[in-house]
Chains A and B, each alone.
Chain A
Amino acid sequence: MIRVEGLCKAFGDTQVLDGVTLDVATGESCVIIGGSGTGKSVLLKCILGLARPDAGAVLLDGDSVTRTGREAFLSRFGMLFQGAALFDSLPIWENVAFRLLRGPLRRPRAEAHEIAIEKLRRVGLSPDIADLYPAELSGGMQKRAGLARAIAADPEIIFFDEPTTGLDPIMAGVINDLIRGIVSEMGVTALTITHDMGSVRAIADRVALLHAGTVRWQGTVAEMEATADPYVTQFIEGRADGPISALR
């Protein structure tokens, strides 16, 4: 279980996170929604240790994820970045097998290659693209290759950062289905940040709305559809008028 406790982070005078508290149960797919600039990515970076929170803690199975425990946390973890963040200088299969070619999870090169091909197949990519470089792939293919990299080492926890941003609706649907399938099949704990309601409905077991630096509302997808909370209804209906200011 991942527990975020009272996380605060400010940049200068701007308080981006103001005491975020959130629990993600083991095997659960939690989706954090919220408008642009509400701190979703900052929250993810604080959990990962890419940004240092001003206050609060991140607990994994009850233990604090401190700097020393971060390595252990990351070794159980996979992430799909918004722009896929594939390494330009490496062919696709080496990107996918990155973790398997170095570090404690290191495997023989041939075995790592075989696993990379299997993971590429799992996300619907042909082995023919394994030796291409990221710049030679379309955005959707890069995203799928990024997903293959996220699951290459069979992680227990996967984070998805805006998984469908920049994709056409059909490719977004493909990515959503892949994420849902992989999360269910591997039984992983998933944390997704998005403002794509299609993704929310396809991926989420539970939804949390981040607003003004705190978790404003949380519940299941069914509860989200039925709630009268003005913040949630404004967000899911995409209305400009409501308590969430359109000017940010």
Chain B
Amino acid sequence: MSHLARLGAAVLSLLAGTGRVVLFLLAAAHALVRPPFYFSELRRALLNIGYFSLPVVGLTAFFTGAALALQIYEGGARFNVQSVVPSIVAIAIVRELGPVLGGLMVAARVASSIAAEIGTMRVTEQIDALVTLSTDPMRYLVAPRLLAAVIAVPALVAVGDAIGIMGGWLVGTSRLGVPSAAYLQATRDFLEAGDVLSGLVKGAVFGLIVALMGCYHGMNSDRGAQGVGRATTSAVVSSAILVLAANYLMTEVFFSP
């Protein structure tokens, strides 16, 4: 009975937590469409989430594309189909690895930074100060970050896709002896607009998840350094898990046979 009670309590806690996140998202969506709009905060968030994440997303995509080319060449050699390297690299990067690894990298860098920043503001009364200065924290802090992430992460994914394909091309042409023109032609032939589009949609959803988790855990941070630390960890872990779960669901929707 006690096991059953514990299970019930865990399920109730999970449902309550989900409900709180959904209510938070609805409040943020409401804040997004109602003035005043804080464009300077949006610009700052775009820089932080998009521009400053470029190096980590770019390097991740480059090395993934390069390693993928080697793996596919090695695996393809068993069936004498080494020629599929450019097309498989392109499809894998654009459909799956670009968005997912980009989303995870952004989750690690951005969810933590948002949760730590907002959590620190919570425990040092800066959020109370915003309220006393007639400024709604949902509009000033949360809405610009959500919007910036939804705009910036697909852009990061697009750049990451290009860099990832370039990583594969570099290894393919320099190490595997594939002629450059043939590699690029194969990439162009096999890649479809839908592949790119699905990756960008995934990027937008991952951006929303990452910013939402960062803001939610930051705004609900407990007191003290430990509280902020816990909020940061929760933001990164929950956004990483949700990015992977959402990726599976969207892959089912876009590509299920």
Contact = CB atoms under 8 A, between A and B. Distances in A.
Please give me the 10 A-B residue pairs with the lowest Cβ-Cβ distance, nearest first: A85-B129, A85-B125, A79-B132, A74-B134, A81-B125, A85-B126, A99-B133, A50-B128, A98-B133, A103-B134
Among B117, B128, B131, B133, the one with the most A-chain Cβ atoms within 10 Å of its Cβ is B133
B51 interface: no
A74 B128 CA distance: 12
Interface of B: 36, 38, 44, 117, 120-121, 124-126, 128-129, 131-135
- Would you call the interface of chain B mostly helix, strand, loop, or mixed? helix
B133 A81 contact: no
A75 interface: yes
Contacts of B120: 88
15 contacts: A48-B131, A49-B131, A50-B128, A74-B132, A77-B132, A79-B132, A85-B128, A85-B129, A87-B121, A87-B126, A89-B44, A99-B133, A99-B134, A103-B134, A104-B134
Contacts of B44: 89
B134 A48 contact: no
B27 to A, nearest CB: 14
B134 A75 contact: yes
Contacts of B36: 102-103
A85 B134 contact: no
A82 interface: yes
A74 B131 contact: yes
Contacts, number: 51
B48 to A, nearest CB: 10
A187 interface: no
Contacts of A81: 125, 128-129
Contacts of B38: 102
Interface in A61-90: 71, 74-75, 77-79, 81-83, 85-89
From B36, B38, B44, residue with most partner A Cβ within 10 Å: B36
B57 to A, nearest CB: 23
Interface of A: 45, 48-50, 71, 74-75, 77-79, 81-83, 85-89, 98-99, 102-104, 149
A71 B124 contact: no
A226 to B, nearest CB: 36
Given A85-B124, A88-B120, A79 B129 contact: yes
Contacts of B129: 79, 81, 85-87
Interface of A, secondary structure class, is loop
B92 to A, nearest CB: 39
Contacts of B128: 45, 48, 50, 81, 85
Contacts of A87: 121, 126, 129
Given A83-B124, A86-B129, 16 more contacts: A48-B128, A48-B131, A48-B132, A49-B131, A50-B131, A71-B134, A74-B134, A81-B128, A85-B129, A87-B126, A88-B120, A88-B126, A102-B36, A103-B36, A103-B135, A104-B134
A124 B121 CA distance: 26
A82 B124 CA distance: 9
Contacts of B121: 87-88
Contacts of B135: 98, 102-103
Nearest to A49: B131
B64 to A, nearest CB: 33
Nearest to A161: B125
Nearest to A79: B132
A82 B132 contact: no
A149 B125 CA distance: 15
Nearest to B123: A83
Contacts of B117: 89
A165 to B, nearest CB: 13
A200 B46 CA distance: 47
A102 B41 CA distance: 12
Contacts of A86: 126, 129
Contacts of A48: 128, 131-132
A37 to B, nearest CB: 14
Contacts of B125: 81-83, 85
Nearest to B125: A85
A45 B125 CA distance: 11
Contacts of A75: 134
Contacts of A103: 36, 134-135
A131 to B, nearest CB: 17
A24 B135 CA distance: 26
Nearest to A73: B134
